[in-house]
Chain A
């Protein structure tokens, strides 16, 4: 009997700690599939960030380095400069990438650091129990915005792909999501392209994945996907914000 479905090789057998309905699992899988298909697990080094995905170092089968909060792009820079033949990626959440690590993110991007960045945006701090993220939406209720995010005091969310697309060092800035089969297929393509770019020496590639947090949003997994579609996607439109391979044509 032929195998029609199996775990990617680049994922370990360790049970994941993610909550039911959380989309981290899907995104991990897509990253692992891309690594498998490109045949680069043996030379891949991943950088785990601080947040829910901190323990991704146990889940990815390649070598892994765990970075201080927000510093994954700097750690990845050190790795990539030291071992340029290897494939270096970061896996970061919104607090890590767009709040505490904004400087490291912007500068790794503008240097055109030849790394792949997987950015999981779920509009909330999951690991610490549901506080406001830099990407929390206006009016969004979180533990630290109990009356809803007030833009007068807490400011506006950051649209990371749009911001980074302005930088010359960026090869790919694309926003995807994983709420449906079609979108998952698109996300997979984007992630694979972000790795492909690195193999071809194009520079900093970021794929932002709109993601859910049923636990901290206080919704069922299905409701969470609906919330993502009706609230996040209008504010964070899916699409390609920069792609140097298109410009090359």
Chain B
């Protein structure tokens, strides 16, 4: 096991990408993810990689599109307002069946919002910030170590399913340092991309990387084909951590930074004798409906905890299918809820049962 080092989340994401074989990074500065780009600017030249500061997020995501079309393992990163700008490109990347990893170190919105941590881009990430019928895989790490582990998965699964994948982090995870063990995977073989537009060398038909289908029948066919892939992903790639849920009357659902707070609240509630557990979605798309549906068979209620006005709670409700009540508690605008606040909600909901 490699020695553990303390790393900021932002830097760990960058190093993990390099370890995963990413040699192309196109970025643009924005708080609170800038350390990631800065780290890449320092590291990429040392591994014969490319770091390029684009003229905008719009340009950066399209450079990602180009490098991905050429068959390269490529990444970009930004924070909420910047991801809005990238959304056009993400739609094209999805529509062209290209893999790419996009990092969103979320901050408060809408508009310029604020620069403190938030989780108010859940809808944008999971329901398609760009136009059209499409999905990208969305991973929600809750520790710096998990940020490292999920970057590598995001690249691999993106390649496997030929689609964009997002790491949905937030300012707290990006800025904090925790011990991490970096995988020693440098130099591992990357999958062959025989679809790439990298010159046919007069040996094959020309490849066209494209999202335009002027005939509706063709477009529908293409989208249906893509959705078949999405269904496979929904079946096979859901991930969630279930914490003390077996006997829980109340199941909290929280991801990323807010899941850490929820976990503290669960522990405090347990000390008080309250039967409370936590489901922590690790993939937000596909949403872990199976874990939630299973818990809904025994739990009396759910409580979604988010750093937003309530976005993921919609998916919790869909997964619970009205079988038990789904409550919500959130803070937004850059405020991080405290375990005490969450505990209060837990007590309020379980009040009658005590």
Contact = CB atoms under 8 A, between A and B. Distances in A.
Nearest to B68: A78
A111 B108 CA distance: 33
A66 B26 CA distance: 19
B350 interface: no
A203 B288 CA distance: 49
B73 to A, nearest CB: 9
A42 B63 contact: no
B71 interface: yes
A248 to B, nearest CB: 27
A106 to B, nearest CB: 8
B162 to A, nearest CB: 15
A48 B96 CA distance: 13
Contact of A82 (B24, B55, B96, B209): B24
A106 B59 CA distance: 11
B206 A67 contact: no
Nearest to A76: B66
Interface in A50-82: 54-55, 57-58, 60-68, 71, 73-82
B55 A103 contact: yes
The range of chain B's interface size is 35 or more
Interface string A209-232: 000000000000000000000000
Interface residues of A, number: 39
Interface of B: 24, 26, 50, 52, 54-56, 58-60, 62-72, 74, 88-89, 92, 96, 197-203, 206-212
17 contacts: A41-B202, A57-B210, A61-B206, A62-B199, A62-B200, A63-B208, A65-B69, A68-B65, A68-B88, A73-B59, A74-B62, A75-B62, A75-B66, A77-B66, A78-B62, A82-B70, A83-B72
Interface of A: 12, 41-45, 47-48, 54-55, 57-58, 60-68, 71, 73-83, 86-87, 103-104, 106-107
- Top 3 nearest A-B pairs (CB, nearest first) are A78-B66, A74-B62, A78-B67
